[in-house]
A and B are shown apart, each in its own frame.
Chain A
């Protein structure tokens, strides 16, 4: 069974801090990875894509991929209360699908 594992949280950080979200995956054949943000009662929204080892930065977000360790992470700098949401990690599957983790709930306290 191909899986993506995430700590369900909740992860609580103070406003202005760095939030670190982590994800591991079991399928070594996964080529691409994605982070989605889902606010309560809303559908997921793509925030980062990463395809190769290393870091990828976009504004306050940095995604990190280590294929040897089968590990993906998302760092959110200068966290804001509006970042409070569930963050879903996903890896590409062999059928053109994505394999989603169950999500980590992030709470940013003012």
Chain B
């Protein structure tokens, strides 16, 4: 149980392109979903927290107009990287939880490479 599906697993695209990443909880209803970014050999960095039907809460330093998050249902959240540039190249990982004090279950991540 507690499976989180994240797609696509890898994206390579040109600078200026917008990229959408989907995160789905397959066998549970996710009250909250989280988006992380991880650069090579660095720790996870929380970008934003999203609750179904609400605006996402972004961490300090994360541009909300650059990283658009939509959490339209209890099983689906999307992250859109708008007008991506090479410095946005990173490993993006989503996670989902079904309640307070419960674990987060992670998707497999999306490796984004902007040329």
Chain A residue, CB-CB nearest to B102: A32
Chain A: residues with CB nearer than 8 A to chain B?
Answer: 31-32, 34, 36, 41-46, 49, 51, 88, 90, 92, 95-98, 100, 102-103
Q: Can you name the residue of chain A whose Cβ is closest to the Cβ of B32?
A: A96
11 interchain pairs, CB-CB under 8 A: A32-B101, A34-B104, A43-B107, A43-B108, A44-B93, A46-B103, A92-B100, A96-B31, A96-B32, A96-B97, A102-B43
| Complex: A35 Cα to B97 Cα, angstroms | 15
CB of B67 within 8 Å of the partner chain: no
Binding site secondary structure of chain B: loop
Nearest CB to that of B40 among chain A residues? A41
How many angstroms between the C-alpha atoms of A88 and B42 in the bound complex? 12
Closest residue on chain B to residue A99 by CB atoms: B46
Residues of B within 8 A of A (CB): 2, 31-32, 34, 43-44, 46, 49, 91, 93, 95, 97, 99-109
**B103 contacts across to A, CB distance below 8 A:** 32, 34, 46, 49, 98
Chain B residue with Cβ nearest A94: B100
**Given the contacts A92-B100, A100-B43, A46 and B105 also touching, CB distance less than 8 Å:** yes
Give the contacting residue for A95; candidates B43, B44, B49; CB below 8 A.
B49
Q: How far is the CA of A98 from the CA of B93 in the complex (A)?
A: 15
Given contacts A96-B100, A103-B43, contact A42 B31 (CB under 8 A): no
